[in-house]
């Protein structure tokens, strides 16, 4: 079970859109539609942003959206705001009641 | 309101044992898996394992199997993560999470564990 691959960093200006990728294998990301995304601000616990690839929990702005193609899932943040500056982690079901996280992407709002 | 409240910070020496806790409230504790996630300083999240408090069914990540024990006491809505012999490499922040089927929809505040001689 290897960690999912995310770019270590991403950046964008306020109002722009950015996309963060999360690459796994056919045994995790590609094999199930159970990808979730989490946002973590410094010193805080992670917060669920997206589940089942595309679904948003209540209270999460629709500026956050998810998608998947093959073994790669993506999180898009539209209309970047200063408060979006945080770390973002993907997670996928990996079979046999196990889960695997990505290494995380640090998003900077310029 | 769903809440997961974890026990406080721990400072231990290598070789010592430790048990940290996570108390759930605001929902039926026995109906949701509780997971544990490690975050080492400045690093990403690592899924350690999960337990179903309703029947104490446990699953471990291969990376943590044999190194930790996950348990739960449904009578007091509390899950536990324990080590029998800590190592310096166990230093990190440990989060408990409620798994609503396919995602961790609620997280505890985290328990920092420091293992140092």
Chain A residue numbers with beta carbons less than 8 Å from the beta carbon of B43 are 104
Q: How far apart are CA A22 and CA A4, in angstroms?
A: 6
Determine the pLDDT at residue A2: 80
Per-residue pLDDT of B57-70, as tens digits, reads 999 999 999 999 99
Residues in chain A with CB shorter than 8 Å from the CB of B107 are: 45-47
The residue whose two tokens read 């898996």 is B33
Contact B103 A36 (CB under 8 A): yes
User: Min CA distance, A81 vs chain B (Å)?
Assistant: 23
Point out the residues of chain B with pLDDT beneath 50.
Answer: none
**Could you tell me which chain B residue has the CA closest to the CA of A103?**
B44
Q: Which residue of A has its CA nearest to B46?
A: A101
What confidence score (pLDDT) does residue B101 get?
A: 74
pLDDT tens column, A65-109: 999 999 999 999 999 999 999 999 999 999 988 999 999 999 999
For A52, nearest residue in chain B (alpha carbons): B102
> How much is the pLDDT for A97?
86
Residues A11/A13/A14/A19 CA torsion (nearest 10 deg): -40
Count of A–B CB contacts within 8 Å?
61
Residue listed under structure tokens 């408990």: B96
- Quote the CA–CA distance of B105 and A37 in Å, as a whole number: 10
Question: Is the pLDDT confidence value at A63 over 70?
Answer: yes
The span from the CA of A20 to the CA of A35, in Å, is: 13
pLDDT of residue A1: 67
Torsion over CA: A51, A57, A60, A62 (sign):
positive
Alpha-carbon gap, residue A45 to A42, rounded angstroms: 8
Angle (CA) B101-A76-A36 rounded to 5° is 15
pLDDT value of residue A86: 97
Interface contact flag, A38 B61, Cβ < 8 Å? no
With beta carbons less than 8 A apart as the criterion, state whether B24 and B35 touch. Answer: no
Q: Provide the mean pLDDT of chain A.
A: 95
Question: In the prediction, which pLDDT does B43 show?
Answer: 86
Average pLDDT (A27-51) is 96
């Amino acid at each position: 079970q290897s960690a999912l691959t995310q770019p270590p960093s991403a950046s964008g200006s306020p109002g722009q859109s950015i996309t963060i990728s999360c690459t796994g294998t056919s045994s995790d990301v590609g094999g199930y539609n159970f990808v979730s995304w989490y946002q973590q601000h410094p010193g805080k616990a992670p917060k669920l942003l997206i589940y089942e690839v595309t679904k948003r929990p209540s209270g999460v702005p629709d500026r956050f959206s998810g998608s998947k193609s093959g073994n790669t899932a993506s999180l898009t943040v539209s209309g970047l705001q200063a408060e979006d500056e945080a770390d973002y982690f993907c997670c996928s079901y990996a079979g046999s009641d196990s889960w695997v996280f990505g290494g995380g992407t640090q998003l900077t709002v310029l | 309101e769903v809440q997961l409240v974890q026990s406080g910070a721990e400072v231990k020496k290598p070789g010592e044992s430790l048990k940290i806790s996570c108390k759930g409230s605001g929902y039926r504790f026995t109906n949701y898996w509780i997971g544990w996630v490690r975050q080492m300083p400045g690093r990403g999240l690592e899924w350690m394992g999960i337990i179903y408090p309703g029947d104490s069914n446990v699953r471990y990540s291969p990376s943590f199997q044999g190194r930790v024990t996950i348990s739960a006491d449904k009578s007091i809505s509390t899950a536990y993560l324990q080590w029998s012999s800590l190592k310096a490499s166990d230093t990190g922040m440990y989060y408990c999470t409620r798994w609503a089927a396919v995602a961790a929809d609620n997280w505890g505040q985290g328990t920092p564990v420091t293992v140092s001689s």
